[in-house]
Structure 1
Amino acid sequence: MSGERSRGEQSRGERHGSTRRAEAAQDDIVTAFQVDALDLRGRTVRLGTTLDAVLAHHDYPAAVKRVVGEAVTLAVLLGSSLKFEGRFILQTQTDGPVDMVVADFVTPDKIRAYARFDKEALAEAERRNETSPAALIGRGHLAMTIDQGISANRYQGVVALDGSGLEEAAHEYFKQSEQIPTRVRLAVGEEMKAGGAASSWRAGGLLAQFLPQDASRSRMSDLAPGDAPEGTTPHAVDEDDAWVEARSLVATLEDVELIDRDLSSERLLYRLFHERGVRVFDPSPMAAHCSCSRERVSGVLASFSSEERRDMIQDDGHIAVTCEFCGRVYKYSAEEVVGGQSDA
């Protein structure tokens, strides 16, 4: 489907929707939707002040903020599907200038994140004008962990990052691990303000999955075997027409639509799927929140041996622990930690 056609469809959607009550745009929400005619289900994410609050704890360059914004958006898209109390952790380990990103989503509505980057490598990437999130992340792997607490085992899925970014890595994950036809869109943008005021950041995302009742309709081609003899014909399965239409519609989404302050999630979904009919459910709020505490840090310190804790003591006679997510510093005296358990 061409971009020209998609914009025409949106224009028709706006005219058809002119008699409907205009929906005010909201930020910091996840909105579930369903398109029955296409056997499609999914979620959209819109982040404003929540993303600003996550980024405020670190003095990241703009290019790194975009990387963190994408990771936060993807973590919320995936983590908000959990139906139990727990956390969803997204973590990259790569060879790029931004060699690690961690986004931690705690059900039902809390997100935090941080990134590690090499200043010199980042400066070199900027000199070469290679500062897209995909380029800054580079190659390595993406781990996605579901943690239900001490009462259940962790589940972790790992997928390669080949330099094409988090969107493509998510597609590959669902293809390999979940066998669910899936499309993900992520967008992050800096909103400049007049009068020299500090800029703000916005992010948006959409996840769409093909989930027909007849599972055979969602069959996917087998992964290419790495040791197949030369000339072997790859296994291929024709995609269902409904999924072809759905992913084609998702492909027409532009970044600006995902982060437009004046475009509500409901209106965006109506633009995309009005010809097929889309059901939009009540949104769920999101917020930036760090789960660190003195008690939690004390527990971590207690997991080290007495000798290891002694080695942590600084010249002033204290152990200082800084939360990577929020920057909060917890200080303990030598007497609190060397003897065994530290006091909360």
Structure 2
Amino acid sequence: MSAPVRTVSAEAVDDIVLPFAVEGLSTRGRLVRLGPAIHAVLERHGYPEPVSKLLAEAATLAILLGSTLKEEGRFQLQTKSDGPVSMLLVDFDAPSNVRALARFDRARVARAASGDDLVGHGHLAFTIDPGGDLSRYQGVVALEGLGLEAAAHSYFERSEQIPTLVRLAVGETVTAAGRSWRAGGLIVQHLPSAGPGRRADFHPGDAPEGTEPHRLDEDDAWTEAKALASTTEAHELIDPTLSAERLLFRLFNERGVRVFEPTRLAAQCRCSAEGVDAMLRSFPPEEIAHMVGDDGMIGVTCEFCSTKRVFNPADYGVSSP
């Protein structure tokens, strides 16, 4: 049964993951477009601009990789390194929620010559918790001072052995309302098991109707898919006026690209007053006493979303000083 053919949508939508397939090239992938969601994540922290940009790249990469999980799954990306940004931590709760934080040396960040210098050398870990009774999985790859894109490529080359191309882009738009962060990402993977090419929902170029599609060997197919995907410009990934579908059409229209239902994304922390309360109740009274501030209360601030919650020490068997 042939896939339906329809017109490419020109509607630009932010905060989505759009899965796609170029079946004639045995290639699948996902396109991420982030607007208000990534701006909310970064504005909560007020990090220096280079740190915000790096954290947005990490969040985009985490969404690209974690968006294959089922609804109850969780994906975590974490770096530990000797660079000015010593740690990046991104949690993606499938299918849509993301939160992130960074730890860094402000003076070293100011002296860094480029964004890649911020990461330094260390390791990048991906932790996958598919939920249910399934086991957790962790993949680790070295950070070698070349940035997150290079680390992702190294991971797939050495660990997954799936031909993969990853593109990440972060920038700001300036309007009368002010400055706003944006991010975008593209992952393209060669999956020969996807089977023979089928009719796509975007017309494959200007060939006459009824023309038999050109079949390629798998290696040649990936070479072509990678070459096409590599033409993606950073500004295209974050352009608020360019729809995700139109960008995919630009890249793959000669071979036909099939898109699937997009998933909406949101900046959403999983912290809660109930969770903090349960944590406090796990501490003995003597440790609780050390948490009491000058105002006689216990203040707990979430590192991810910067939400501060205040608790009465009397509720935990401790008298105020």
TM-score, normalization: structure 1?
A: 0.79
Among 202, 210, 230, the alignment partner of 2:182 is 202
> Which whole-Å CA distance do the structure 2 matches of 1:151 and 1:282 have between them?
27
Match of 1:308 in 2: 287
8 Å Cα contact 2:70/2:130 also seen in 1: no
The percent of aligned pairs where both chains have the same amino acid is: 56
Measured after TM superposition, the shift of residue 34 of structure 1 is: 0.3
Match of 1:193 in 2: 175
Give, as a single letter, the amino acid of the residue that structure 1 aligns with 2:17.
V
> Which whole-Å CA distance do the structure 2 matches of 1:148 and 1:299 have between them?
25
> Which whole-Å CA distance do the structure 2 matches of 1:62 and 1:214 have between them?
41
Match of 1:244 in 2: 223
8 Å Cα contact 1:40/1:211 also seen in 2: yes
| Aligned CA distance change for structure 1 residues 336 and 182 (closer, same or farther; 3 Å) | same
Among 25, 47, 50, the alignment partner of 1:60 is 47
Say if 2:94 is the partner of 1:107. yes
Match of 1:332 in 2: 311
Q: Secondary structure at the match of 2:138?
A: strand
> Which whole-Å CA distance do the structure 2 matches of 1:338 and 1:183 have between them?
56
> Which whole-Å CA distance do the structure 2 matches of 1:304 and 1:170 have between them?
39
Q: Secondary structure at the match of 1:172?
A: helix
Measured after TM superposition, the shift of residue 214 of structure 1 is: 8.7
User: 5+ residue gaps in structure 1?
Assistant: 1-18, 216-238, 340-344
How many residues align? The count is 292
> Which whole-Å CA distance do the structure 2 matches of 1:287 and 1:69 have between them?
14
Kindly report the root-mean-square deviation, in angstroms, between the aligned alpha carbons of the 2 structures. 2.2
Match of 2:200 in 1: none
> Which whole-Å CA distance do the structure 2 matches of 1:336 and 1:242 have between them?
65
Match of 1:278 in 2: 257
Among 189, 192, 200, the alignment partner of 1:212 is 192
Measured after TM superposition, the shift of residue 187 of structure 1 is: 0.2
Say if 2:24 is the partner of 1:37. yes
Match of 1:219 in 2: none
Give, as a single letter, the amino acid of the residue that structure 1 aligns with 2:25.
L
8 Å Cα contact 1:89/1:145 also seen in 2: yes
Match of 1:23 in 2: 10
| Aligned CA distance change for structure 1 residues 154 and 22 (closer, same or farther; 3 Å) | closer
Give, as a single letter, the amino acid of the residue that structure 2 aligns with 1:184.
V
Match of 1:288 in 2: 267
8 Å Cα contact 2:61/2:185 also seen in 1: yes
Give, as a single letter, the amino acid of the residue that structure 2 aligns with 1:240.
D
Measured after TM superposition, the shift of residue 86 of structure 1 is: 2.1
Deviations 1:121-161 (A, max 9, x none): 11222xxxx132x2211111111111245855432111111
Match of 2:114 in 1: 131
Measured after TM superposition, the shift of residue 262 of structure 1 is: 1.4
| Aligned CA distance change for structure 1 residues 42 and 308 (closer, same or farther; 3 Å) | same
Residues 66-215 of structure 1: pairs in structure 2 closer than 5 A: 66-125=53-112, 130-132=113-115, 134-148=116-130, 151-194=133-176, 197-213=177-193
Structure with the larger RCO, 1 or 2 (CA within 8 Å, 6+ apart) = 2
| Aligned CA distance change for structure 1 residues 149 and 214 (closer, same or farther; 3 Å) | closer
> Which whole-Å CA distance do the structure 2 matches of 1:252 and 1:99 have between them?
32
Give, as a single letter, the amino acid of the residue that structure 1 aligns with 2:165.
R
Measured after TM superposition, the shift of residue 84 of structure 1 is: 4.2
Give, as a single letter, the amino acid of the residue that structure 1 aligns with 2:91.
D
8 Å Cα contact 1:310/1:338 also seen in 2: no
> Which whole-Å CA distance do the structure 2 matches of 1:90 and 1:243 have between them?
27
> Which whole-Å CA distance do the structure 2 matches of 1:315 and 1:293 have between them?
24
